[in-house]
Chain A
Amino acid sequence: MSELIEAIGLQKRFGPVRALDGLDLSVGAGEVHGFLGPNGAGKSTTLRILLGLARPDGGLLSVLGLNPWDNAVQLHRRIAYIPGDVSLWPNLSGGETIDLISRLRGGTRDKAAYAGRKARLIEAFEFDPSKKGRSYSKGNRQKVALIAAFATPAQLFILDEPTSGLDPIMEAVFNQEIGRVAANGATVLLSSHILSEVEALCGKVSIIRSGRTVETGTLAQLRHLTRNEVSFLAGGLTAADLAGIPGAHDLVVAHGRAMFTVDGEQVSAMLPTLARLKVLGLAITPPSLEELFLRQYGDELVADGVARVS
Chain B
Amino acid sequence: MEILGVLLRQRLRRDRYQLAIWIPGIGLLGLFSASAVATTFGDAAGRASILRLAIANPGLLMLRGLPQGYGLGPFVFFQIFAFLALLAGLMSTFLAVRHTRAEEESLRAELVFATLAGRTKPNVATLVEGVLANLLVGVAVAGGFMAGGLGVSGAVAGGAATAAVGVSFVGVGMLIAQSTSTSRGANGIAAAAVVLAYLVRGLGDALGTPSPDGVHMSAAWPSWFSPIGWAQQVQAFNANSYAPLGLNLTLAAVCAAAVFALASRRDSGASIVPGRAGRPEAPARLSGTFGLAWRLQWLSILGWCVGGLATGWLAGALGNLAQQAAGSNTTVTSALQSMVAARNLSLAELLISAMFAIIGVLAAACATQTVMRLRQEEIVGSAEVILATPVSRVRWLLDYLVLGTIATVLVLLSGALASSVGAAVSGTDLQAVGDSFSAAAAQLPAALIYLAVLALLYVLLPDIAVAAGWSLLGAGVFLGIFGALVGLPQWMRNISPFTHTPVAVAGTTDWSGGVWMLGIAAVALVVAVAGMRRRSLRPS
Q: Is the pair B277, A88 in contact by a Cβ cutoff of 8 Å?
A: no
Q: Is the pair B388, A134 in contact by a Cβ cutoff of 8 Å?
A: no
A238 vs B534: C-alpha distance in the bound complex, in angstroms? 69
Q: Is the pair B281, A83 in contact by a Cβ cutoff of 8 Å?
A: no
Which chain A residues (107-159) contact chain B, with CB distance < 8 Å?
Answer: 108, 129-132, 134-135, 145
A90 within 8 Å of B by Cβ? yes
Looking at A95, A99, A106, A129, the one whose CB has the most chain B CB atoms below 10 A away is: A99
Query: Of B281, B384, B392, which is within 8 A of A99 by CB?
Result: B281
Given contacts A79-B388, A92-B295, contact A131 B277 (CB under 8 A): yes
Q: Is the pair B182, A95 in contact by a Cβ cutoff of 8 Å?
A: no
Query: Considering only CB atoms, which chain A residue lies closest to B299 in the complex?
Result: A91
B343 within 8 Å of A by Cβ? no
Chain A residues lying within 8 Å of B382, measured Cβ to Cβ, are 87-89
A76 vs B393: C-alpha distance in the bound complex, in angstroms? 12
Q: Is the pair A54, B275 in contact by a Cβ cutoff of 8 Å?
A: no
B292 within 8 Å of A by Cβ? yes
Chain B residues lying within 8 Å of A131, measured Cβ to Cβ, are 277-278
B389 within 8 Å of A by Cβ? yes
Q: Is the pair B385, A101 in contact by a Cβ cutoff of 8 Å?
A: yes
Q: Is the pair B286, A54 in contact by a Cβ cutoff of 8 Å?
A: no
Given contacts A83-B381, A99-B286, A101-B385, contact A73 B278 (CB under 8 A): no
- Chain B: minimal CB distance from A241 (Å): 57
Query: Of A91, A93, A105, A135, which is within 8 A of B296 by CB?
Result: A91
A300 within 8 Å of B by Cβ? no
Chain A residues lying within 8 Å of B280, measured Cβ to Cβ, are 93, 95-96, 129-130
A96 vs B384: C-alpha distance in the bound complex, in angstroms? 17
- Chain B: minimal CB distance from A76 (Å): 4
Q: Is the pair B381, A85 in contact by a Cβ cutoff of 8 Å?
A: yes
Chain A residues lying within 8 Å of B287, measured Cβ to Cβ, are 99-100, 103-104, 108
Q: Is the pair B282, A76 in contact by a Cβ cutoff of 8 Å?
A: no
Query: Of A81, A100, A132, A145, which is within 8 A of B278 by CB?
Result: A132
- Chain A: minimal CB distance from B373 (Å): 11
Chain A residues lying within 8 Å of B536, measured Cβ to Cβ, are 53-55
Looking at B279, B287, B390, the one whose CB has the most chain A CB atoms below 10 A away is: B390
Looking at A76, A94, A100, the one whose CB has the most chain B CB atoms below 10 A away is: A100
| Interface size class of chain B, counting residues whose CB lies under 8 Å from the partner chain | 35 or more
Query: Of B279, B282, B390, which is within 8 A of A106 by CB?
Result: B390
A98 vs B536: C-alpha distance in the bound complex, in angstroms? 25
Chain B residues lying within 8 Å of A145, measured Cβ to Cβ, are 385
Given contacts A132-B277, A134-B275, contact A89 B391 (CB under 8 A): no
Query: Considering only CB atoms, which chain A residue lies closest to B278 in the complex?
Result: A93
B218 within 8 Å of A by Cβ? no
A74 within 8 Å of B by Cβ? yes
B71 within 8 Å of A by Cβ? no
Q: Is the pair A101, B389 in contact by a Cβ cutoff of 8 Å?
A: yes
A289 vs B147: C-alpha distance in the bound complex, in angstroms? 74
Query: Considering only CB atoms, which chain B residue lies closest to A87 in the complex?
Result: B381
A90 vs B183: C-alpha distance in the bound complex, in angstroms? 11
Q: Is the pair B278, A89 in contact by a Cβ cutoff of 8 Å?
A: no
A193 within 8 Å of B by Cβ? no
Query: Considering only CB atoms, which chain A residue lies closest to B537 in the complex?
Result: A53
B38 within 8 Å of A by Cβ? no
Query: Considering only CB atoms, which chain B residue lies closest to A12 in the complex?
Result: B536
Given contacts A53-B537, A89-B382, contact A130 B277 (CB under 8 A): yes
Query: Considering only CB atoms, which chain A residue lies closest to B274 in the complex?
Result: A135
Query: B interface, by DSSP: helix, strand, loop or mixed?
Result: loop
A76 vs B389: C-alpha distance in the bound complex, in angstroms? 5
| Tally of contact residues, A, Cβ under 8 A | 42
B380 within 8 Å of A by Cβ? yes
Query: Considering only CB atoms, which chain B residue lies closest to A127 in the complex?
Result: B280
B220 within 8 Å of A by Cβ? no
Chain A residues lying within 8 Å of B181, measured Cβ to Cβ, are 134
Q: Is the pair B281, A53 in contact by a Cβ cutoff of 8 Å?
A: no
Given contacts A53-B388, A88-B382, A104-B391, contact A48 B537 (CB under 8 A): yes
Chain B residues lying within 8 Å of A94, measured Cβ to Cβ, are 278
Q: Is the pair B390, A100 in contact by a Cβ cutoff of 8 Å?
A: no
Chain A residues lying within 8 Å of B128, measured Cβ to Cβ, are none
A27 within 8 Å of B by Cβ? no
Chain B residues lying within 8 Å of A81, measured Cβ to Cβ, are 388
Query: Of B182, B286, B384, which is within 8 A of A100 by CB?
Result: B286
Given contacts A53-B536, A90-B182, contact A74 B390 (CB under 8 A): yes
- Chain A: minimal CB distance from B186 (Å): 13
Chain B residues lying within 8 Å of A83, measured Cβ to Cβ, are 381, 384-385, 388
Query: Considering only CB atoms, which chain A residue lies closest to B296 in the complex?
Result: A89
- Chain B: minimal CB distance from A145 (Å): 8
B289 within 8 Å of A by Cβ? yes
Query: Considering only CB atoms, which chain A residue lies closest to B386 in the complex?
Result: A104
Query: Considering only CB atoms, which chain A residue lies closest to B380 in the complex?
Result: A87
Lowest 9 CB-CB distances: which A-B pairs, in order? A93-B278, A99-B282, A95-B280, A104-B389, A87-B381, A81-B388, A96-B282, A129-B280, A54-B536
User: Told that A53-B388, A89-B292 touch, could you supply 20 new A-B pairs with CB distance under 8 A?
Assistant: A51-B388, A73-B390, A83-B385, A87-B382, A90-B105, A92-B282, A93-B277, A93-B279, A95-B282, A96-B278, A98-B282, A99-B287, A100-B282, A100-B287, A103-B286, A103-B288, A104-B287, A105-B390, A132-B275, A134-B275
23 A-B residue pairs with Cβ-Cβ distance under 8 Å, sorted by A, are A55-B536, A72-B387, A81-B388, A83-B381, A87-B381, A87-B382, A91-B296, A92-B295, A93-B278, A93-B280, A94-B278, A96-B279, A96-B282, A97-B282, A100-B292, A101-B389, A104-B287, A104-B288, A129-B280, A130-B279, A131-B277, A132-B277, A134-B275
**Which residues in B have some Cβ–Cβ distance to A below 8 Å?**
105, 181-182, 275-283, 286-289, 291-292, 295-296, 380-382, 384-393, 534, 536-537
**Which residues in A have some Cβ–Cβ distance to B below 8 Å?**
48, 51, 53-55, 72-74, 76-77, 79, 81, 83, 85-101, 103-106, 108, 129-132, 134-135, 145
